[in-house]
Amino acid sequence: MTRFLASAALRRLFSAACAGVALATVFGVSEARADFTFNLGNLFVDDDFNNGNFLLSATLPVGTYTSYEVTTDWTDDFDARSIEAAWELTNASSVVSSSTTYATSDTAIGAAENGDATTLSWSGDFSTPYSNGPLYFIPYQIFSGSSANWSNTIVTLRSINTPTSTSFTLPANGEKFTATGELSPQSVVWYDFVYGGEELTIDTLGSQLTGGADGDNDTELALYDALGTLITTNDQGFDEGSESLLANFSASLTPGDKYYIALGAFDTVFDDDFSVTPSSEASGTFQLNVTNVTNVTVVPEAGSVALLGIGGLLGTTLAARRKKA
């Protein structure tokens, strides 16, 4: 038995020459991300923002992009230092006119306080995920009057493969949403909801699985945010011979944001970026219950694990098994 408890200064630019509800079941490993790479070639970059831009969105596949890698072979042209190399990803051809900055470079790996030739590389997450509209890559040298050559410039953007999921509306106070379906061997099912600040219990009471390694009726749950960050799971260990373990955790949830629930059988491996690896041969009927207990006293069932409300936080009290080695 598994339970969750949930409640609730202007930078200078550049001159660059450049070329309701349906059940969702996933079998096997969920692929987490997809990459799209731009080879911008050789760029002449200075501190003048009036000479152009590079529009990436014209050929970028549809998706939600959340991280980047940028590399270039940097050489000095005039009075430049590699530590002054910078760039931005924005929704306009000029930082002056942009309303959204998706990513801004920090100090590159390989950068130095001199003009020696070097390879620069940056990697990181977008400050704001990109999904549609114009997207421009804007390289520049920070120091006034300086210029440099950026050769073999490569920009790689990574998108999240959001799982196909069942959307549901959170129940009113004191009420419960319940979904049932068939869980096949080595599979996982996904549900999503928009959080409204409620205090919730999320459990799989009523599931009937058989055929696992131990012949157990044993489920596992995980909670993700909309960017694929693994918030928490019931992946907790216990001492052999013990019947159960009370495991507690908490994590903030943001009202208005979307969250995803992944449900699988025992020994499912959950990782960031919606990466899920189900390995169990167990199958049968699952039952997912989401109960709004914002102003309700939770009375545990006989033989079950008690749940404790935490206002404004996500928490859980659950029974779990040790993962296989």
Do both 175 and 278 map to the same domain? yes
The tally of domains found in the chain comes to 2
Range of the domain at 132: 33-160
Structural domain includes residue 4: no
* Whether residue 282 sits in one domain with residue 170: yes
Is the four-CA dihedral 301, 303, 304, 307 of positive or negative sign? positive
Residues 203, 64 share a domain: no
* Last residue of one domain, picked from the residues 98, 126, 160: 160
| CATH code of the domain in which 89 resides | 2.60.120
What's the one-letter identity of residue 311?
A: G
Is residue 54 one of the residues assigned to a domain? yes
How far is 71 from 123, CA to CA, in rounded Å?
Answer: 9
Predicted pLDDT of residue 236: 39
The reply to whether 116 and 182 lie within a common domain is no
Q: Are strands 283-292 and 200-203 parallel, antiparallel or unpaired?
A: antiparallel
pLDDT of residue 96: 78
pTM for the model stands at 0.61
Q: Which two tokens stand for residue 170?
A: 């959170």
Residue 72 confidence (pLDDT): 98
313-318 and 3-6 strand pairing: antiparallel
29 secondary structure, DSSP code:
P
For residue 200, how many other CB atoms are within 10 A of its CB?
Answer: 25
210 Cβ neighbours under 8 A, 6+ residues apart:
217, 282, 283, 284
Q: Domain for residue 20, yes or no?
A: no
* 214 and 306 in a common domain: yes
User: Do 156 and 175 fall into the same domain?
Assistant: no
Tokens 């959080």 found at: 195
Q: How far apart are CA 72 and CA 177, in angstroms?
A: 52
Q: Which two tokens stand for residue 317?
A: 């009290």
Ordered mean pLDDT values, 10 residues apiece, the chain (325 residues) = 34 30 42 81 85 83 91 98 96 85 96 98 93 93 95 94 90 91 94 88 85 73 88 55 32 83 89 90 90 61 31 38 47
Inside any domain, residue 264: yes
Specify if 281 maps to a domain: yes
The pLDDT value recorded for residue 93 is: 87
Q: Are residues 218 and 153 in the same domain?
A: no
User: What pLDDT is attached to residue 221?
Assistant: 87
Which of 126, 160, 194 is the last residue before a domain boundary? 160
Residues 66 and 90 in one domain: yes
> Residue 254 is part of a domain; what is its CATH number?
2.60.120.380
Does residue 2 lie in a domain region?
A: no
Which residue in 94, 96, 119, 97 sits closest to 108, CA to CA?
119
The pLDDT assigned to 33 comes to: 63
**Amino acid present at 125:** D
Nearest Cα to Cα of residue 222 among 189, 246, 196: 189
Residues 139, 238 within the same domain: no
Q: How far apart are CA 292 and CA 304, in angstroms?
A: 18
Dihedral over Cα of 202, 205, 210, 213: its sign: positive
Asked if residue 134 belongs to a domain, the reply is yes
The reply to whether 233 falls in a domain is yes
Angle subtended at Cα 86 by Cα 85 and Cα 91, rounded to the nearest 5 degrees: 155
- What does the pLDDT look like over 70-101, one tens digit per residue? 999 999 999 999 999 999 999 998 877 788 99
Q: State the pLDDT at residue 301.
A: 41
